[in-house]
């Protein structure tokens, strides 16, 4: 029996414009609302990402982060 889908947590999140556009595009492509899309992605994170690719992209993001903040 599937669990009832309830959005029980709300939080303010700051996102880059690129990240928000990607979320909106994913949301539109899947027919999910943005909160539902985020819930799906985080609930299934290990299934939808390649761990090695994630680590490489995270290293690159951290390297560029300070420059992007300026």
User: Over the stretch 7-30, which tens digit does the pLDDT of each residue have?
Assistant: 778 888 889 999 999 999 999 999
Measure Cα distances from 53 to 24, 34, 49, 64, 65 in Å.
Answer: 22, 24, 8, 17, 18
pTM: 0.76
- Predicted local distance difference test score (pLDDT) of residue 44: 95
């Amino acid at each position: 029996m599937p669990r009832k889908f309830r959005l029980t947590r709300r939080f303010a999140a700051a996102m880059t414009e690129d990240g928000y556009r990607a979320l909106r595009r994913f949301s539109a492509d899947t027919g999910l609302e943005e909160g539902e899309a985020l819930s799906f992605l985080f609930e299934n994170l290990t299934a939808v990402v390649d761990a090695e690719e994630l680590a490489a992209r995270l290293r690159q993001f951290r390297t560029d982060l300070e420059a992007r903040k300026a």
